[in-house]
Amino acid sequence: MPSNIRRLTSDDVPRLRQFWTEHWGGEFIVTHGVIHRPEDVEGFVVGDENFWDGLITFKILGDECEVLSLDGLKEGQGIGTMLLRKVIEEARAGNCRRVFLITTNDNLYALGFYQRRDFELVAVHRGAVDETRKIKPAIPIIGQNHIPLRDEIELEMILNPQGHSET
């Protein structure tokens, strides 16, 4: 498992913008109708100055930590898990009561990945992707696995006062 993990800095913003464009279809990410721009997020990256093997971005707002994006570009090496654990540590240090994220109804891989790591499904926001398309028209109608892309699915991990997951 790679160990060269580092925090994103302001110097990484142009590269993050390019990465999101290549991997997320635009220079910003939208969750619950909120636009998240590269200059407004925190994150960690695995890789060197020439190539990122993995990236996670997040925001801590009050006592909640939202994971905005997670990409492990070398599947099966534990990069995504390592990055997710790093953000959970960050959430604990920030006294967050929960870590949560939004994925879409077509992303079966992500649904399995997060549930295997103690995240639980807590809400389905029906039609949310249709609303997001008004902000980000590049979102396709048909998503992964040939599934119509319509809904946001919210998953969470509740942290107890000692900062450990309750599950």
Closest CA to 165 of 124, 132, 118, 126: 118
Domains of the chain in start order, with CATH, are 5-158 (3.40.630.30)
* Global model pTM greater than 0.75: yes
Closest CA to 28 of 10, 40, 46, 12: 40
Which residue is it, tokens 């029906």?
Answer: 126
What pLDDT is attached to residue 153?
Answer: 96
**Between these two residues, 123 and 161, which has the higher pLDDT value?**
123
To the nearest 10°, report the CA torsion of 1, 29, 151, 120.
40
Which residue is it, tokens 């990409």?
Answer: 71
Q: What is the mean pLDDT of the chain?
A: 89
What pLDDT is attached to residue 163?
Answer: 44
What pLDDT is attached to residue 4?
Answer: 85
**Rounded to the nearest 5 degrees, what angle is found at the Cα of 24, between the Cα atoms of 50 and 146?**
130
Q: For residue 87, what pLDDT band results from cuts at 50, 70 and 90?
A: very high
Q: Is the pLDDT of residue 20 over 60?
A: yes
DSSP 68: E
Q: Mention every residue, 6+ apart, whose C-beta is less than 8 A from residue 148.
A: 106, 141, 142
